[in-house]
Amino acid sequence: MKKIIKNGTIVTATDTYEADILIENGMISQIGKDLSSADAEVVDAKGNYIFPGGIDPHTHLDMPFGGTVTKDNFETGTIAAAFGGTTTIIDFCLTQKGKTLRSALDTWHEKADGNAVIDYGFHLQIVEMNEVILKELATVSKEEGISSFKVFMAYKNQFQADDETLFKTLVAAKELGALVMVHAENGDVIDYLVKKALEEGKTEPIYHALTRPPEAEAEATGRAATLTGLANSQLYVVHVSCAEAAAKIAEARNKGIDIWGETCPQYLVLDQSYLEKPEFEGAKYVWSPPLREKWNQEVLWNALKSGQLQTLGSDQCSFDFNGQKDLGKEDFSKIPNGGPIIEDRVSILFSEGVDKGRINLNQFVDIMSTKAAKLFGLYPKKGTIAVGSDADLVVFNPHAERVITSDADHMAVDYNAFEGIRVKGEPVSVLSRGEFVIKDKTFVGKAGSGQYIKRAKYGETLSAEKKAVPQS
Ligand SMILES: [Zn+2]
């Protein structure tokens, strides 16, 4: 069925203007003043912004970790994402040494297909690199439209890959047209510091942060950047948490290395002191890299504003406080790493970013949607509002005020990391390919309506520019 969104203010990464949007067959077919169509459903968006649907390039749904599995799966996680104004996620498909990439992808499709309510793609984890894997990688990346590979430099004896694997992956990615993503922390050094702390009887959640110092993140970030330059390849550093790591990225960019940086809402508004909350409550804020000292927040905001960091991922990886996080009650290293962030990513960026004057409205759209679409081969199908693009749209009321609480959110876990934070602005309605997923703050979508997206190669959509010129 056709729809017309009337009277809203359209905001893209480059433009802000008032116009109507005609939607046909899941796509935007016309943008202009006073559009009408006899058989179209009219959606009045007066007083609201219309944003392209958010793209969350960093999620872990239905993911096994530390002897348990994330509470949010592809159904609950994508419903929460939609409530928050996100219409596309890219989730990390984990692989195992000695097993085929195909088997890992089959497992991830089983988790997502038929369950997701918004569109999704997969990044593919690389744990080892040899002739067999290289050959299979060339095949599956093409078949599945996967143009991003993930390498962990931390989590020793679990996910961590060595420098040889990272370097070979960088070389292969250049060849195959993919972006290499790194979790940049020095896993060997962290492993030593964790063991030492535990030997000294330091078991509380705060030691999670103290055994993963900013230097460990900065060192790995700089090393990955150097190896990227050496391989003449391309790199995306996930979840940059601190000034030292952001500086390594800026330094490499200044040298002409093709490197991009993502931060997350939690690093922009929460800080290391949260891990010191009494009664083990600090465990709610255990993820890696850890929360940093508060002064880092303004450095990260400035890096987003200046373009030295470009995207915002949620790193959604949710575990219940009761029954999952408490696996580490006697030993911080056994606390499952991760937090529930997927629903509040866009709201935090708008409220703390735009409303508080740290970034402008177009930068906001670029950071929460457009840049990720360009980097990960989704643009201009996703990530903008233009004729021919998917009608993935968010009707957003910039004046609404609310307090974030676990009671009101839609994630499956028993707490919210942003509990009690007052935010300005909220998504009212959210459309995925022209169909309402959220209508007037109510979920009206259905499990399985989200589609798997095959993505273009790295670079092909990076500098594309599609302007939505109003036709009046
Ligand atoms: Zn992650």
- Ligand 1 mean position to 313 CA, how many Å? 9
Do the Cβ atoms of 148 and 459 come closer than 8 Å?
no
- The pTM score is 0.97
Do the Cβ atoms of 262 and 239 come closer than 8 Å?
yes
- Ligand 1 mean position to 160 CA, how many Å? 13
Question: Which helix H or strand E contains 375, and what residues bound it?
Answer: helix 371-375
Give residue 472's pLDDT: 45
- Ligand 1 mean position to 59 CA, how many Å? 6
Q: Who's near 134: CB < 8 A, 6+ residues apart?
A: 168, 172
Give residue 93's pLDDT: 98
Question: Which helix H or strand E contains 15, and what residues bound it?
Answer: none
- Ligand 1 mean position to 147 CA, how many Å? 17
Q: Which residues make up the environment of ion ligand 1, defined by Cβ < 5 Å? A: 315
Give residue 1's pLDDT: 84
Instruction: Count CB neighbours of 271 within 10 A.
Output: 19
d(CA 347, CA 19): 24
Q: Which segments in the chain show pLDDT lower than 70?
A: 465-472
d(CA 247, CA 450): 38
Task: Find tokens 């909350």 and name the residue.
Answer: 277
How long is the chain?
472
Give residue 468's pLDDT: 54
- Ligand 1 mean position to 231 CA, how many Å? 24
Give residue 471's pLDDT: 47
- Ligand 1 mean position to 337 CA, how many Å? 9
- Ligand 1 mean position to 339 CA, how many Å? 10
Give residue 66's pLDDT: 83
Give residue 141's pLDDT: 98
- Ligand 1 mean position to 217 CA, how many Å? 14
Give residue 24's pLDDT: 98
- Ligand 1 mean position to 242 CA, how many Å? 16
Do the Cβ atoms of 99 and 92 come closer than 8 Å?
no
Per-residue pLDDT reduced to its tens digit, 251-287: 999 999 999 999 999 999 999 999 999 999 999 999 9
- Ligand 1 mean position to 427 CA, how many Å? 25
Per-residue pLDDT reduced to its tens digit, 74-94: 999 999 999 999 999 999 999
- Ligand 1 mean position to 239 CA, how many Å? 7
Per-residue pLDDT reduced to its tens digit, 387-443: 999 999 999 999 999 999 999 999 999 999 999 999 999 999 999 999 999 999 999
